[in-house]
Amino acid sequence: MSYSPFSPIKRHSPRVTVIGAGKVGSTLAQRIAEKNLADVVLLDVVEGMPRGLALDLMEARGIELHNRRIIGTTDYADTSGSDIVVITAGFPRKPGMTRDDLLLTNAKIVVEAANKAMTYSPDAIYIIVTNPLDVMTYLAWQATGLPGDRIMGMAGVLDSARFETFIAMELGVCSLDVKAMVLGGHGDLMVPLPRYATVNGIPITELLDAATIERLVERTRNGGAEIVELMQTGGAFYTPASSTCVMVESILLNQSRLLPVAAYLQGEYGLNDIFIGVPSRLGSSGIEEVVELKLSDVERDALHTSAQEVRKNITRA
């Protein structure tokens, strides 16, 4: 009996579908498989490309010491029964563009992808990565009718990782010792929280002066644009893929990790009917709990200002 890696077989393993086989999507597929988290279906509209990428990843399995199946396809039927669906499809930023400049272009792509995936994986948990992320998550939720705890956006993990990196670089310390939290929309009005940033438990407010902290906060807000300007032909993809993988891992392994994600709020932080970055516990059922931090008046006002910008873009879309 001949065997094809693309032929359907009975599954006993978790399955993650990644919609969009660009740099973020293909890197995420690699991360998931090589961490031995799940079998992966990599879907894209470009004929041949996802199958080529999947075959390339399959050929690396013996070297990377895992036996996960990676399927490349253009057919949503191949995504059937996924435990998690990640949507990365859409156009990336170019130099001079903001995330919001992608709004109208990517809205149709994300909504169509979410609806098609729902046909084959109605019980999956959905993670949206396409920019502008908070708005795309809201539109996908609205279109699919998913419960708010089963759909979320990836942003806070990425933005917090950037804040942590800049703190570590400034202090010359190991990144593993730095923990930080960034709330709000994934845009220029995101809300890094210096009070909740520590180096091995020591608040950065005791290690850095106010001017330096503000400089690092601004660099975090512009972290994506900095990479776009340097690369010229695309944006970040390694850290977005790693950030999404952390979320996938927490859900599949039911780790209940406390991570900042774009979650649906129903009164938390004084906000309603919006997806925006807040700390949330992620487990096998999706968002298990939204954690409300005690914010100062300034921090709360900044979060609400960020939310107003997200609402404005939802109306535009």
Catalytic residues: 186
Helix (H) or strand (E) segment spanning residue 130: none
Closest C-alpha to 163, from 203, 91, 226, 213: 213
Helices (H), the chain: 23-34, 49-59, 61-64, 103-120, 133-144, 156-171, 210-221, 223-231, 238-252, 297-316
Structure tokens at 10: 């009975």
Phi-psi category of 153—alpha, beta or left, where left has phi over 0 and alpha has psi -120 to 50?
A: beta
d(CA 212, CA 309): 27
- Rounded CA gap, 164 and 161, in Å? 5
Contact 95, 229 (CB under 8 A): yes
Find out whether 265 and 272 touch, Cβ atoms under 8 Å. yes
Token pair 């845009």: residue: 187
C-alpha gyration radius of the chain: 19
Tally of residues, the chain: 317
**Axis-axis angle for helices 156-171, 210-221 (nearest 10):** 140
The encoded tokens of residue 215 equal 């400089």
β-bridge partners, 151: 126
- Residue 123 buriedness (CB in 10 A; 0-12 / 13-18 / 19+): exposed
The answer to whether residues 135 and 128 touch, using CB atoms and an 8 Å cutoff, is no
Strands 198-199 and 191-192: unpaired
Pairing of strands 15-19, 39-43: parallel
